[in-house]
Amino acid sequence: MMGSVDNPIATEFDIPFTVENVLAGYRQGIFPMGDDEDDLVYWFRPDPRAILPLEDFHIPRSLQRAMDNGEFEVTANRAFSDVMIGCGEGRPVWITDRIHDLYNQLHELKKAHSVEIWSGEELIGGIYGVQLGGVFMAESKFHRVTNASKIALAKLVERLREGGFALLEVQYLTDHLQQFGALEISNAEYLLRLEKAARSECVF
């Protein structure tokens, strides 16, 4: 989602890229990323793993002021595909057409969700990810206006808290995520938390 990626554990030749396998992968702490250069899908399992503790989420003062300003609208699942397109802008393209199409299938199955930030009719930021019970695995976020992606993250956390979610996974720890309270845990610890939280029935 928010950090550099190295050392894939497998390619599509080892794990066929299907909706069923993607969901099974998430249950085992594995997620896919595309490569537009070779059109392959690679699978990753970070260790350590980054999470954002929902109850300890920190909103920087500058971001709180931007949120208090209120010159934006927040929605959920209104423009999932457009959020994915936005997340693929201006960066190494791991959200390939194949990734985009499959995650839209997950969205249709209510397994993937998005939060959108709007200025009038313009989509200015958003975030998307995958849900397994009480776990949300954030995949990527974007902004076209300063702070819009940060607001999307804060509103996602707000929504997850209200929905009774227990775990927000963000893949790789970055300085950017640390300002919100992100931390690293071992993959073994993550899998224990994942198994427990995934049993919960939460509504996004």
Each residue's pLDDT tens digit, 167-184: 999 999 999 999 999 999
Q: What is the pLDDT of residue 2?
A: 44
Assigned domain for 4 exists:
no
11 domain-assigned: no
The confidence band for 6, taking pLDDT boundaries of 50, 70 and 90, is low
Q: Which long-range contacts (CB under 8 A, 24 or more apart) does 139-142 make?
A: 139/1, 139/31, 139/87, 139/103, 140/1, 140/2, 140/84, 140/87, 140/95, 141/1, 141/2, 141/87, 142/83, 142/86, 142/87, 142/89
Task: Kindly state the average pLDDT of the residues 18-43.
Answer: 93
Residue-level length of the chain: 204
The overall average pLDDT reported for the chain is 92
Give the C-alpha separation, 36 to 93, whole Å. 6
Which pLDDT band holds residue 5 (cuts at 50, 70, 90)?
A: low
Lateral strand order in the sheet of 31-35: 10-11, 40-44, 31-35
Give the H or E element holding residue 196.
helix 187-198
Q: Which CATH number fits the domain that encloses residue 71?
A: 3.40.630.70
Cα–Cα distance, 76 to 128 (Å, whole number): 10
Which residues, including other chains, have CB under 8 Å from residue 134's CB and lie 6 or more apart?
164, 165, 166, 167, 197, 198, 199, 200, 201, 202
**Is the pLDDT reported for residue 1 higher than 50?**
no
Question: Is 53 domain-assigned?
Answer: yes
Distance (Å, whole) CA 49 – CA 194: 12
What pLDDT, on a 0 to 100 scale, did the predictor assign at position 169? 98
Counting the structural domains of the chain, the total is 1
3-state class percentages of the chain: helix first, strand second, coil last, to nearest 5: 35, 25, 40
In this prediction, residues 102-118 reach a mean pLDDT of: 98
Higher pLDDT, 2 or 113: 113
pTM greater than 0.85:
yes
In a domain, 156, yes or no: yes
pLDDT in tens, 57-108: 999 898 998 888 878 999 999 999 999 999 998 766 789 999 999 999 999 9
Which residue range forms the structural domain that includes residue 103? 46-198
Does residue 33 fall inside a structural domain? no
**pLDDT for 91:** 66
The beta-strand segments (E) located in 4-55 are 10-11, 31-35, 40-44, 49-51
Query: What percentage of residues in the chain have a pLDDT greater than 70?
Result: 96
Percent of the chain with pLDDT over 90: 80
pLDDT reading at 4 higher than 50? no
User: For residue 100, is it within any domain?
Assistant: yes
